[in-house]
Structure 1
Amino acid sequence: MNLPFFIAKRYFFARKKTSFISLISFISMLGVCIGTMALVIVLSVFNGLEEFQKGLFKSFDAELKVSAVKGKNFACNEAFLQKLQKIEGITSITQVIQESALLRYKDAQMVVTLKGVDENFLKQERLKKSLIDGVPKLGGTGLNYAIVGSGIAFTLGIDLDAFFVPIEAWYPRNTHSKTLDFHSTDAFNRLNVLPSGIFAIEQDYDNNYAFVPLEFAQELFEYGNKRTSLEIQVKNPTQIASVQEQLKEILGKGFLVQNQDEQHASLLRAIKIEKLFVFLTLSFIIGIASFNIFFSLSMLAIEKKPDVKTLIAMGAATGAIKKIFLYEGAIVALSGAFTGLILGFLICWLQQIYGFISMGIIGSLVDAYPIKMHPSDFFFTAVVVIFMTLCASYFPAQRAVEKQ
């Protein structure tokens, strides 16, 4: 008759381990704890960076964007717009003409992305929180106004108080001639626009984008009834997916309908891939830390060899003895994993509330590292840690029984 497992376990743990093995077990638990904590924190930082990027897009990009699959523009008339406006959930449609143009202000000049938009753009108030100087104005009193990025304003030295100093916009004329003399001013369309405001969103936007009235861009680029895109605002964020599907069905395969995430799919995909590789790298580090459990249990099996013989002589089953070693490894693993998850959660929570870890970048949009905790990250971290440490515990337990 086999010795009951709980009697065997009490007998086994009643015999003290040497201080050296106890130290190895503590170091193993500490390694698992630190690895788990680091994994939770790093994944939460990547989540925060992803949410931060999406927040920047929301202040600049439309909820839905319609563009041509082939070519950079498409014909857009009133009937076409009315057809789209009938879709339930759409509140406004902004017509966009976007091209690169040369801007000159006094003695400075630079090439920027000039974005012509209609009056619906200002009604959406997408630049309201980003405006750092001036007023959000594109037209009125028979004059054309421009809202420029802070990087453009700095490079050109734009002074909003200089009311009568315009910005010159230059763009090559559409000509059917085979040769074009770029040294002649007649080769370019040139229009003046007054600066009305300066916005600051993110460096890539601030250094490249300037907003002008749609009619101004239409005349400068000679686009006629052509548009490069349509930016659509939806009444309720929960309707974005359904409106997107309706647009795809109505417009057909010749048009591309993208939500905000799809407009920056390459960037968000890069963040997710980087997060995956960081997860795998830190999991590998946790796996290395789990080898300490392997060594500590291997040494424990050697030290407890006489006790194992005694238990077998008393009728203990080999499976019961194997469970004792597995439980020993599980105690170390679960203690380290649980402590690491708690510490990781506390550090992330403190960072969210107080932001005590700064990014160390002067003039950055955020002072501290953004943090966002996902329950799935905690779950998968715990699963990976427990799986690795139990695997590290199994082989010493198996060998301890087989040697007897």
Structure 2
Amino acid sequence: MNFRTLLFIAQRLLLSRKKMAAVTIISWIAIGGMVISTAAMIILLSAFNGIEQMIENLYSSFDQEVVVRSVSGRKIELSKAQKYQKYGDELSGVSNSSLFIQERVILRNKKKWSNAELWATEPSFYEMSDLSSEKHIINGSLSSKDAGLIGVGLANRLMLQSMNQEQQTVVLYYPKQNKKVRFGSPPFHQRMISLSGAIEYNKEVNDNVLLVPLDWAGAYNPNRVSGVLFSTNASNRNSIKESLLKKFPGELEVLTNLEKNALIFKTSRSEKVIVLIILLFVFVLSLFNLAASITMTYLEKKAGSTTLLSLGMSRVNLRNLYFILGSMIAFLGVFFGVFIGAVLVYIHEHIGIIRLPESNEFFPSSFSWLQTTKVILTLLFLGFGVAYITSTYLIKPSRKEREIVSLEE
């Protein structure tokens, strides 16, 4: 008996039952369970993809894709840093770069004090971090390249007023480099700096960073910088890292933004894996209904099965018939689940359904065809596997049929 005939009979078994038969109810419960769990997988997978992209954007806009520092952890001579920068700029995939100085400092606004992390960069960094378009400036503006920008959380701690109308000033205490501290001699350089705006990226930047021009900070530490920042595509960062390490072996520590914020990205991915495992377990539970549906259909149609055997159908073909029936149920569950999940994700991405708590923005979401294909193949494999095991257990070929099959093979 050919496949088309078996498929036709399986369709009749699935679709031509009495509406309130127990077998019909169990079959649609099995399909419904698979639809819900599959749709939940697609929706949550898209949500976690959106969260990963949001985190990567938050940490990649300010923390560039590739960061070069001295392997000793100390500052680099300016001439060497410029050599590293020149070589990196010539690599394929590098779109921009900036020398930078990173230093712990103390800020004071009247009677308010706070520790801060000073970032001194070249003007190119403003383009690399989307500051030139003022995308991340929420209070004030980039009106002067000589003024500084301060993290919004740090500005709140210092009780700074709005910078929309006029610039604010703070006192900066910068540690003296390579100098012995004598009694009565202050260990810090003290200088006023004007601030033209507050920036917002992620919590770490918002609460700690003071961004100033490189020339301004270089006056206190001439001819030395902390390293070089390179802006590139995510697909090129590892190759650029390898090229720099190969060109300057033993001189550099090169980190990508993923390595620098490894804990954050690993935590997000671990959460995604745990949730998917739980949903996969729910899907497996729904497969018990699939096995029950095949079993009850076989018991209900046992007389019809006997008739088919009497008419010449082999037990192998009868087993294949119930395997096709179970596969159809699994396919319908996965297909409608993926369809419903994809439609809901599409609506959310283009119109918006769920908002972030205490925010006007919608929850991030990103649909991936590659990951969806993997989910479909995995779920169909499990569904077809349960259908095969159940049908094989219920209907075992006779000894003679097994001998014929073995001879044909």
TM-score w.r.t. structure 2 length? 0.83
What code does the residue aligned with 2:376 have?
Answer: A
Distance 1:300 1:113, change over 3 A: same
| Corresponding residue of 2:159 | 157
SS of corresponding position for 2:142: coil
Give the match for residue 401 of structure 2.
none
CA distance in structure 1 between the aligned counterparts of 2:177 and 2:195, rounded to whole angstroms? 26
Residue equivalent to 1:187: 187
Matched-pair contact (CA < 8 Å) for 2:151–2:206? yes
Correspondence 1:131 to 2:133? no
Maintained 8 Å contact 1:4/1:316? no
Alpha-carbon deviation of 1:66?
Answer: 1.1
Residue in structure 2 matched with residue 225 of structure 1 by the alignment: 223
Aligned partner of 2:406 in structure 1 is none
1:272 partnered with 2:272? no
Do the aligned partners of 1:137 and 1:146 also contact (CA within 8 Å) in 2?
A: no
Q: Which position in structure 2 is the counterpart of 1:81?
A: 82
Question: CA–CA distance in 1 between the matches of 2:77 and 2:154?
Answer: 31
The alpha-carbon deviation at position 339 of structure 1 amounts to: 0.6
* CA-CA distance at 1:293 after TM superposition: 0.5
Instruction: Work out whether residues 59 and 202 of structure 2, in 8 Å CA contact, stay in contact via their aligned partners in 1.
Output: no
Q: Distance in 2 between matches of 1:272 and 1:169?
A: 40
Aligned to 1:95: 99
- Corresponding residue for residue 338 of structure 1: 335
Match status 1:168 vs 2:171: yes
Match for residue 377 of structure 1?
371
**Mapped pair 1:368 → 2:362:** yes
**Which residue number corresponds to residue 205 of structure 1?**
205
CA–CA distance in 2 between the matches of 1:396 and 1:233? Answer: 56
Aligned with residue 148 of structure 1, among 137, 147, 150: 150
Inter-partner Cα distance in structure 2 for 1:4 and 1:399: 22
Match of 1:114 in 2: 118
Q: CA deviation at 1:83?
A: 6.0
Aligned residues: 388
**Contact 2:103/2:118 (<8 A) preserved:** yes
* Alpha-carbon distance in structure 2 between the residues aligned to 1:327 and 1:217: 73
Following TM superposition, by how much is the alpha carbon of 1:52 offset from its aligned partner in structure 2, in angstroms? 1.7
Distance in 1, Cα, partners of 2:299 & 2:356: 50
For the residues of structure 1 that align with 2:329 and 2:270, how far apart are their CA atoms? 32
Residues 346 and 210 of structure 1, relative CA distance in 2, 3 Å threshold: same
CA distance, structure 1, for counterparts of residue 103 and residue 77 of structure 2:
16
Shift of 1:270: 2.7
SS of structure 2 residue aligned to 1:207: helix
- Letter paired with 2:386: A
User: Contact 2:166–2:196 (CA<8 Å) still a contact in 1?
Assistant: no
- Relative distance call for 1:345 and 1:263 in structure 2 (3 A) is same
What do residues 115-139 of structure 1 show as CA deviations (whole Å, max 9, x unaligned)?
Answer: 1223433465631311123232665
Report what 1:104 is aligned to: 108
Distance 1:114-1:26 versus aligned 2 partners, 3 A rule:
same
Task: Give the corresponding residue for 2:388.
Answer: 394
Quick one: which amino acid aligns to residue 359 of structure 1?
L
Q: Which residue of 1 aligns with 2:407?
A: none
3-state SS, counterpart of residue 62 of structure 2: coil
Q: TM-score, normalised by structure 1?
A: 0.84
Amino acid in the other structure paired with 1:75? E
Shift of 1:44: 0.7
| 1:148 positional shift | 0.3
Aligned to 1:315: 312
Q: What percentage of aligned pairs have identical amino acids?
A: 22
Residue 68 (str. 1) matches residue 70 (str. 2): yes
Provide the residue aligned with 2:282 in structure 1.
285
Partner SS state of residue 296, structure 2: helix
Residue number in structure 2 paired with 1:196 = 196
What stretches of structure 1 of length at least 5 have no aligned partner?
A: none
Give the deviation of 1:40 after TM superposition.
0.6
| CA separation of 1:332 and 1:111: change in aligned 2, threshold 3 A | same
The equivalent residue for 2:50 is 48
Other structure's SS at 1:35 match: helix
Change (3 A) 1:162 1:106: farther
Question: Deviations along 1:171-220, whole A, 9 cap, x unmatched?
Answer: 4445776x988xx7723332221222211222321111111232443455
The answer to whether the Cα contact below 8 Å between 1:62 and 1:231 also exists between their aligned partners in 2 is yes
Contact between 2:140 and 2:165, CA under 8 Å: does it hold in 1? no
Shift of 1:22: 0.3
